[in-house]
Structure 1
């Protein structure tokens, strides 16, 4: 950053300090020792560009073929829609990869915004900013095509089934309170264990959150079936996913306004239906 030229002895030291402060405020980017860019004032990581972070790899159906630059998949589509709301052309969107943990850790960031299914929590809000939610997940019943409940159309159809879920999770509570299976909910230490039990015929179906349901049924089970979404259990709510920004980012308000506009005009619902298969997860009553 260039320093303002001196104007001889007539320039007081206080005026020079003020000029330096103003020059610093006008800077959009500074680099830390690791090369990460920290947003300052209204600036972006790269002037004239919107730098979007996502996972490595980014999984179906959130991104298709691990290539967010195509705009295919729910989160790339949301990112490009937000970019348009902010006044960027698609050619002005640049992508970077981060791990989940480093994206929500305190400190400088290599991105302006980051999307990789970050649930908004008070703990995370201590380290980063969030936009308003662009998606709220539900609890979903997953099974296989050969299961006796593959064609279940209501909660009553599941009452006599063996239902599994990861213990200590919202999924387990939803299964207990909403399905209330006659034999109780079968507890597993992880979703992977519950999925293995489903594959081995130890349970008839499992309950997981919607993103996990899409991945398990579409990528991990040979004959996966999404039976349907559960109504919210009393006192329970789906996980709200927000766009992550650096803590104190000057862009947080604008990004939230963009997300709100996309929600209000129906764009977010349309993108969720297109990429997350809204018709594939009917509401169970």
Structure 2
């Protein structure tokens, strides 16, 4: 099941995450934070969980391509790289970043938090935002096509080559309209209540492919299916896309600081570069065009 829709509490297990303890540095200016009204964006801000340290949370296991080797502290994988890029914009050195484990379902539950922000493929939703703060989006998910290795559609390189495929989508997602408008299949997509139902239909031969958001496809291919093939990804501007945000404690004084850092990373092209490196190039997910 997708982390963007449900908590993967069944797969979440406590793990020791490497973290480097550092002496508290002298206060320093936060790059890119000038003009953040009412916020102390220094590395010694009282809004931090621990002054002089940026405490970053994620779940364990930490899956690829978001992380690498279940080791968030190595800077590899999209979300690890984004976290360190944000830290750098905020003025923290790598040895001032401490990683802690936070189960996915606990991250957006009401209550005190033992971190400054959590980065864990957490979709921004109005319901979750009642209990926590979210940063602006650092990733907007494309739609993606998943099939089996031996499918006749596994080698498709364009959307037009999928017109004859029997497509499965999950109810209450943007995928149904995306399939109709972008893939324009010969037959209407089959609609399923859960991702598990989609996987069952795919393995039983009832459908040829699943279309859903790219993060879900990554998870299904890596954890649910042994013989899956990610055919490709495609953009869809309609509906409500899956957007990931950094999760902070409710009413955190550091939220505006994080937003300013993300804005700078988007403006200088860093987010785009990291997306290409870790979610497209390294994951080998080609873009499907007409």
Query: What's the TM-score once normalised by structure 2's chain length?
Result: 0.78
1:252-267 alignment runs, 5 A limit: 252-267=255-270
* Equivalent position SS for 2:127: helix
Equivalent of 1:144, from 137, 143, 148? 148
CA contact (8 A) 1:163 1:204 kept: yes
The range that moved more, 124-133 or 148-157, is 148-157
* 1:204 and 2:215 correspond: no
> For the residues of structure 2 that align with 1:194 and 1:254, how far apart are their CA atoms?
41
Give 1:34's aligned residue.
Answer: none
Equivalent of 2:279, from 239, 251, 276? 276
CA contact (8 A) 1:42 1:251 kept: no
The range that moved more, 106-115 or 94-103, is 94-103
1:81-100 alignment runs, 5 A limit: 81-100=85-104
TM-aligned CA deviation for residue 53 of structure 1 = 0.8
Equivalent of 1:50, from 51, 54, 73? 54
TM-aligned CA deviation for residue 70 of structure 1 = 1.2
* 1:173 and 2:177 correspond: yes
Equivalent of 1:248, from 229, 246, 251? 251
* Equivalent position SS for 2:229: strand
* Equivalent position SS for 2:288: coil
CA contact (8 A) 2:159 2:288 kept: no
Give 2:120's aligned residue.
Answer: 116
CA contact (8 A) 1:231 1:284 kept: no
CA contact (8 A) 2:47 2:252 kept: no
**If each structure's helix is expressed as a fraction of its own residues, which one has the higher value?**
1
CA contact (8 A) 2:233 2:285 kept: no
TM-aligned CA deviation for residue 50 of structure 1 = 0.3
> For the residues of structure 1 that align with 2:285 and 2:47, how far apart are their CA atoms?
41
* Equivalent position SS for 1:52: strand
CA contact (8 A) 2:133 2:248 kept: yes
CA contact (8 A) 2:168 2:191 kept: yes
The range that moved more, 63-72 or 107-116, is 63-72
> For the residues of structure 1 that align with 2:47 and 2:208, how far apart are their CA atoms?
53
The range that moved more, 159-168 or 215-224, is 215-224
TM-aligned CA deviation for residue 211 of structure 1 = 0.8
Give 1:30's aligned residue.
Answer: none
The range that moved more, 89-98 or 271-280, is 271-280
CA contact (8 A) 1:61 1:215 kept: no
The range that moved more, 178-187 or 91-100, is 178-187
**Pairwise CA RMSD of aligned residues?**
1.9
The structure number with the bigger radius of gyration is 1
TM-aligned CA deviation for residue 141 of structure 1 = 0.9
Task: Name stretches of at least 5 consecutive residues in structure 1 with no aligned partner.
Answer: 1-40
> For the residues of structure 2 that align with 1:60 and 1:219, how far apart are their CA atoms?
10
Equivalent of 1:190, from 174, 189, 194? 194
TM-aligned CA deviation for residue 252 of structure 1 = 0.7
Task: Name stretches of at least 5 consecutive residues in structure 2 with no aligned partner.
Answer: 1-44
The range that moved more, 95-104 or 239-248, is 95-104
Alignment deviations for residues 140-199 of structure 1 (CA, whole Å, 9 cap, x no partner): 111123211122233322222111122222223322343232221112222222123223
Higher-RCO chain (CA-CA 8 Å, sequence separation at least 6): 2
* Equivalent position SS for 2:185: coil
